[in-house]
């Protein structure tokens, strides 16, 4: 095995990402709590205290992150806490977020703040959620309130997390609240998410001209299952454009493009200072005329790929490289706003992490404008409709006792963050089977 070190540029941001509903706990005022009460979470799981950040355990988790050499953290603000009713603000909640953000700064971590990460206030859902015409006005007012209160601590803002997942899973596949399977509603929601993003972008810049604002899209690699089959190539290309490109294109060109529809949204043009890419996996797509409800496709993982314990993620690091390359077309700096794997035993995560950081390094070495990487996630947290069955944390969480236990990947990631590099020694220590592959000779 050759000895080598893959260095990253000075000032590269290394951290983890979390989302309010998944870590804070004890919130009964949003659509996800409602969804849970309706019995939609796997095995009847409940979010409960989550990681108890609202009870103060963010302090110990931020200590963990800081000691592990992280120099940034991405967290989200819970709209339903800041605005518990349509006509009411909760100043205490904002003060609490100020404490958290100060907590990051004091530990030397740059905050990236997401303003919307899947969860919506119940009152908004009663009005019709993101289908409701006035949602954009409400969202903008909430964003102004937050930026006004927290702007002293933040200048990296992510408006909306994975609008493509929110619209697809909530309004086409029906697995997220509100559980609809309605293309018309999905399109309305997509349009309003774009308008909401644009309104937030302009509001943030008005309040804080130096801010950097973007959104985080979920990029899913999609390859034709059978290269030789035109129908597979067509459906893979179509779904990829729809799923991966719809939002960043809207924010770059001010145009919505959706199966034969084209609509101008001029206020959205040029509304991304950076592109956030959440990458987890890549799949094969085969055309299937009889699978209308699955958008005329059957999708599956490449045979022989390494699959995560619940079958959720295939380890496809090449797909990560492709995702970063894809991001270049938008001509803005890139942050990897999420990447990780669910793996309670930490058997696959070490390899996954090393192989993905290696691809990240390849991109960085082509001088692609990649500025940071956020691993999903710091501590095991509440994985939406999959409840506690998926464990994405560098630290394991015992939901009964709130005890945390470090997984080996936390040490591996700490070494990467502290050295701002991936070295052959790290690979030899944490995933020796990869040594000959990454460092031949």
Give the interface with ligand FCB as residue ranges (CB under 6 A). Answer: 19, 22, 161-162, 165, 218, 278, 338, 376, 383-384, 392
Whether 332 and 214 have beta carbons less than 8 Å apart is answered as yes
Q: Which is nearer to ligand FCB, 162 or 380 (CB)?
A: 162
Report the distance separating Cα 43 and Cα 399, nearest Å. 15
Compute how many other C-beta atoms are within 10 angstroms of the C-beta atom of residue 94. Answer: 17
- In what helix (H) or strand (E) does residue 207 lie, and over which residues does it extend? helix 183-207
Nearest Cα residue to 297 out of 351, 258, 243, 363: 243
Report the distance separating Cα 147 and Cα 99, nearest Å. 15
One-character DSSP codes across 393-439: -SEEE-TTT--EEE-HHHHHHHHHHHHTEEEHHHHHHH-GGGHHHHS
Task: Taking each helix axis as running N to C, give the angle between helix 317-327 and helix 349-365, from 0 to 180 degrees, rounded to the nearest 10.
Answer: 30
Q: How far is the CB of 309 from ligand FCB (least distance, A)?
A: 13
Q: Which is nearer to ligand FCB, 136 or 160 (CB)?
A: 160
Q: How far is the CB of 85 from ligand FCB (least distance, A)?
A: 26
DSSP 117: S
Q: Which is nearer to ligand FCB, 346 or 383 (CB)?
A: 383
Report the distance separating Cα 349 and Cα 341, nearest Å. 6
Q: Which is nearer to ligand FCB, 192 or 218 (CB)?
A: 218
CA 272, 275, 276: angle at the middle one, nearest 5? Answer: 130
Euclidean distance between the first and the last CA atom of the chain, given in angstroms as a whole number: 5
Q: How far is the CB of 260 from ligand FCB (least distance, A)?
A: 28
For tokens 């020694």, the residue is 425
Q: How far is the CB of 216 from ligand FCB (least distance, A)?
A: 7
Q: Which is nearer to ligand FCB, 62 or 118 (CB)?
A: 118
285-to-128, 138, 234, 280, 293 alpha-carbon distances in Å: 33, 38, 10, 16, 15
Q: How far is the CB of 285 from ligand FCB (least distance, A)?
A: 19
SS3 of 157, please?
Answer: strand
Q: Which is nearer to ligand FCB, 287 or 413 (CB)?
A: 413
Q: How far is the CB of 340 from ligand FCB (least distance, A)?
A: 7
Q: How far is the CB of 338 from ligand FCB (least distance, A)?
A: 6
Q: Which is nearer to ligand FCB, 219 or 330 (CB)?
A: 219
DSSP 56: I
Q: How far is the CB of 109 from ligand FCB (least distance, A)?
A: 19
Q: Which is nearer to ligand FCB, 90 or 310 (CB)?
A: 310
Q: Which is nearer to ligand FCB, 378 or 415 (CB)?
A: 378
Q: How far is the CB of 218 from ligand FCB (least distance, A)?
A: 5
């Amino acid at each position: 095995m050759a000895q080598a070190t893959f260095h990253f540029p000075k000032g590269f941001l290394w951290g983890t990402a979390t989302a309010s509903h998944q870590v804070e706990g004890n919130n009964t005022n949003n659509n996800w709590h409602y969804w849970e009460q309706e019995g939609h979470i796997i095995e009847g799981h409940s979010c409960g205290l989550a990681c108890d950040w609202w009870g103060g355990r963010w302090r110990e988790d931020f200590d963990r992150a800081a000691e592990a050499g992280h120099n940034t953290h991405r967290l989200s603000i819970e709209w339903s806490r800041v605005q518990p009713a349509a006509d009411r603000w909760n100043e205490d909640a904002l003060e609490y977020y100020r404490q958290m953000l100060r907590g990051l700064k004091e530990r030397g971590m740059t905050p990236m703040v997401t303003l919307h990460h899947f969860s919506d206030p119940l009152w908004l859902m009663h009005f019709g959620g993101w289908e409701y015409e006035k949602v954009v006005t409400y969202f903008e007012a909430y964003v102004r309130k937050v930026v006004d209160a927290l702007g002293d601590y933040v200048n990296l803002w992510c408006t909306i997390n994975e609008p493509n997942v929110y619209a697809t899973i909530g309004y086409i596949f029906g697995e997220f609240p509100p559980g609809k399977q309605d293309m018309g509603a999905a399109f309305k929601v997509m349009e309003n998410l774009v308008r909401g993003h644009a309104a937030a972008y302009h509001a943030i810049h008005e309040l804080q001209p130096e801010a950097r604002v973007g959104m985080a899209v979920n990029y899913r690699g999609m390859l034709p299952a059978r290269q030789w089959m035109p129908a597979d190539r067509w459906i893979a290309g179509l779904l990829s454009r729809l799923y991966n490109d719809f939002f960043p294109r809207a924010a770059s060109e001010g145009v919505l493009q959706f199966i034969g529809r084209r609509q101008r949204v001029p206020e959205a043009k040029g509304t991304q200072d950076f592109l956030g890419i959440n990458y987890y996996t890549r799949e094969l797509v085969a055309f299937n005329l009889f699978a209308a409800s699955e958008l005329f496709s059957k999708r599956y993982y490449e045979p022989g790929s390494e699959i995560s314990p619940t079958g959720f993620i295939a380890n496809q690091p090449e797909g990560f490289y492709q995702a970063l390359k894809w991001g270049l077309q938008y001509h803005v700096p890139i942050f990897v706003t999420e990447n990780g794997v669910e793996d309670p035993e930490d058997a696959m995560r070490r390899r996954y992490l090393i192989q993905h950081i290696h691809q990240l390094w390849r991109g960085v070495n082509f001088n692609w404008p990649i500025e940071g990487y956020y691993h999903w996630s710091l501590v095991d947290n509440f994985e939406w409709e999959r409840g506690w069955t998926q464990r994405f944390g560098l630290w394991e969480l015992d939901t009964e006792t709130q005890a945390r236990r470090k997984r080996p990947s936390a040490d591996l990631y700490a070494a990467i963050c502290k050295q701002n590099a991936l070295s052959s020694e790290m690979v030899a220590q944490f995933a020796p089977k990869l040594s000959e592959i990454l460092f031949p000779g």
